[in-house]
Amino acid sequence: MSQFVPDFKNQKMTDARVAIAVARWNGHITSRLTEGARQTLLEAGFPEDAIDVYEVPGAVELTFAASQLIETEIYDAVIVFGCVIKGDTPHFDYVCQSVTQGITQLNADIDTPVIFGLLTVNNEQQALDRVGGPAGHKGVEAAQTAMDMIRFRRARSLTGYPTLHSLSPQSPHTALERLMQYVWQHRLWPHSHLRTVDGLPVQIIDPGKLNTDAGPDFFNAKIVIDGRKWAGDVEIHVRASDWHRHGHDDDPAYDSVILHVVDRDDTAIRRSNGEIIPQLQMACTPDFSRRYNDLVGRADRDLPCAATIASMPGIYMADWLESLAFERIYSKTDRIDGLLSRMGGDWESACYITIARSLGFGINGDPFERLAISTPLMFIAKHCD
């Protein structure tokens, strides 16, 4: 049996992004864990804006925080820091077991490594010993583990070994990837100073037509790269290495791709014949991605905008509802006015078609309207009792 040995040294780390979720409880300990991890990542070449720190009340909330950060799909690793000091009640055991099981389950279920940085000690001195004292620095160790796991994950993806993300039937349609497709389709990117990851100037003449079936994400795009005009397809991924995870490097159907648009540039990608494909980085800020994921990614579980609406001033809500009401009335009026013109001023026929459309509700409104138009009211009246 061959042994998988990831090539850690040759993997880029400068574009990686890490989130740290830290508990405020025993903050004089957890703050040192966080600072030790930050300094280690900075010394390893991480930019300041590639390390995001989020605070939660206590250790029990760390699992939820980690799962929410993973859902944004913008982080290569998540580190959780907390400190639980044993007391006279069983509370210590319950908290430790809850967090340990939660983080373990996350690592088993998802494709982003979550680094366990919870100190479980008998007294405060044992905790202090582990943030730069005789027992080392657990914050530094957590950061080093995070970097090793990022390298491991990237090396594994380049070998063709499947990951949880690549095995998921929903992987081509993740929330962040859909957001990037929307931005690309509607030309919402900054139009000035677009450049490939190699520094070549890029001009988008036509982003292409969105493809919802198999194959590249956008067909028939027209793009100028370094003064040369290209016509072909565009593929969009969250990570550049997704190209390998999805098997595009060996698929001739993707040889027509002229530009690879990514949120994270973690590797170069090639066509099946070995040619390098130009790559454009279109990164989403963590806050923008989180807000989009809250509104779109959670729509199947709750009302995504509930919290936002609840925090809006009443006068804004009143104006908004009034504007929506008028917009709805005008839309219905225009539809009925169009039917009336089509029916030659026959109000009864226009009313008949409108009622038929209403019986179809939202999903079948158009088919019911077409059925009523193809079955005129006079025909029905002819056969009535």
Token duo for residue 137: 């620095």
Are 175 and 292 spatial neighbours (Cβ–Cβ below 8 Å)?
yes
Q: Compute CA 302 distance to the chain's CA centroid, rounded to the nearest angstrom.
A: 18
Q: Phi-psi bin for 53: left (phi > 0), alpha (psi -120 to 50), beta?
A: beta
Q: Is 91 a catalytic residue?
A: yes
d(CA 320, CA 343): 35
Token duo for residue 297: 């990614």
Are 13 and 147 spatial neighbours (Cβ–Cβ below 8 Å)?
yes
d(CA 338, CA 344): 10
28, 91, 165, 186: the active-site residue? 91
Q: Where are the alpha helices (H) located in 208-360, listed in sequence order?
A: 242-245, 286-292, 306-310, 314-342, 347-359
Q: Compute CA 11 distance to the chain's CA centroid, rounded to the nearest angstrom.
A: 23
Q: Compute CA 370 distance to the chain's CA centroid, rounded to the nearest angstrom.
A: 39
| Burial of 338: CB neighbours in 10 Å, binned 0-12, 13-18, 19+ | exposed
Q: Where are the alpha helices (H) located in the chain, listed in sequence order?
A: 27-43, 62-71, 91-109, 124-129, 138-158, 164-167, 175-185, 242-245, 286-292, 306-310, 314-342, 347-359, 361-374, 377-382
Are 18 and 78 spatial neighbours (Cβ–Cβ below 8 Å)?
yes
Nearest of 166, 83, 93, 95 to residue 129 by alpha carbon: 83
Helix (H, G, I), strand (E, B) or coil at 17: coil
d(CA 172, CA 144): 31
CA distances from 363 to 8, 210, 240, 360 (A): 53, 24, 38, 7
Catalytic positions are 91
